[in-house]
Amino acid sequence: MGTTIATIDNAQVLDCTSFGNQEREMAEALSRHLPSFYRHAFRYLGNVADAEDAVQDALLSAHKHVSQFRGEARMSTWLTAIVINSARMQLRRRPRQTHVSLDEHPDPGSYALSELLSDHKPSPAEECLRSDLAENVLQLARQLSPTLRTAFQLRHLDGLTIREMTDVLGVAEGTVKARIARARAKLRSLMHKMVK
């Protein structure tokens, strides 16, 4: 009976040392192959966040079941298989996406989806009005004094900031703001006269 207990103790010691070796081998595989695990998951999922989740789930599962690693393949191959299975599981959990044709008429006499979607581009009439307005503003800006015209042009046509304008004009910030405000007020009054 003493022989049987010694045999059992030796088997348990061998099992514990192999478990420790498996964990070391897993840590080495992770340090070398972690980027490739992310690449494998990304190929399946097409999304960085989902790939990270799949790798994390796979590594947690592998850590829990490291004792089941039989050593028939390399540790990195075993981990890669777990990562791929985890990515596939995420794909199965994704909701199914339905595709709708934009040109299909669902019911006779109804509109196609493409006809119901709004167009965010300005209409030709709106573009014409904007063009006319821009042209009128430029004509009216020519009537401003040189200092006001320069301030208006730098701010609204060239898109400079107030700070940039102070550098260009060599005047204080308050002066630049006052010139812009006077230019706008003068243009408003010129537009009102033009409309009347």
The enclosing domain of 139 has a CATH number of 1.10.10.10
Cβ neighbours of residue 81 under 8 Å, at least 6 residues apart? none
Provide the CATH number for the domain around residue 23: 1.10.1740.10
Comparison of pLDDT for 29 and 119, the residue scoring more: 29
In whole numbers, what is the pLDDT of the chain averaged over residues? 80
Q: Are residues 38 and 83 in the same domain?
A: yes
User: Per the domain annotation, does 77 fall within a domain?
Assistant: yes
User: Domain range holding 135?
Assistant: 124-195
pLDDT tens-digit readout, 52-93: 999 999 989 888 888 888 888 888 888 889 999 999 998 888
Extract the tokens encoding 184.
């706008």
How many domains are there within the chain? 2
Q: Are residues 13 and 84 in the same domain?
A: yes
Question: Do 13 and 57 form a contact (C-beta atoms < 8 A)?
Answer: no
Question: Do 148 and 190 form a contact (C-beta atoms < 8 A)?
Answer: no
Q: How many CB atoms lie within 10 A of CB 26?
A: 19
Percent of the chain with pLDDT over 90: 26
Q: Are residues 77 and 134 in the same domain?
A: no
pLDDT tens-digit readout, 82-129: 999 999 998 888 776 666 666 666 666 666 666 667 777 878 888 888
Q: Are residues 14 and 78 in the same domain?
A: yes
Rg (CA), the chain: 36
Cβ neighbours of residue 168 under 8 Å, at least 6 residues apart? 154, 160
The reported pLDDT for the residue numbered 11 is 41
Alpha-helix runs per DSSP H in the chain: 2-45, 48-64, 75-93, 113-116, 124-141, 146-152, 162-169, 173-195
User: Per the domain annotation, does 173 fall within a domain?
Assistant: yes
Q: Are residues 82 and 138 in the same domain?
A: no
Q: How far is 181 from 108, CA to CA, in rounded Å?
A: 58
User: Per the domain annotation, does 70 fall within a domain?
Assistant: yes
The arithmetic mean of pLDDT across residues 183-194, rounded, is 88
- With tokens 């409309």, the residue in question is 195
Lowest-pLDDT range, 21-35, 89-103, 158-172? Answer: 89-103
The reported pLDDT for the residue numbered 145 is 92
Q: Are residues 145 and 85 in the same domain?
A: no
Task: Determine which helix (DSSP H) or strand (DSSP E) holds 154, and give its type and residue range.
Answer: none
Question: Do 110 and 64 form a contact (C-beta atoms < 8 A)?
Answer: no
The arithmetic mean of pLDDT across residues 39-63, rounded, is 89
Q: How far is 27 from 18, CA to CA, in rounded Å?
A: 14
User: Per the domain annotation, does 104 fall within a domain?
Assistant: no
Q: Are residues 84 and 129 in the same domain?
A: no
Closest CA to 186 of 145, 127, 150, 135: 145
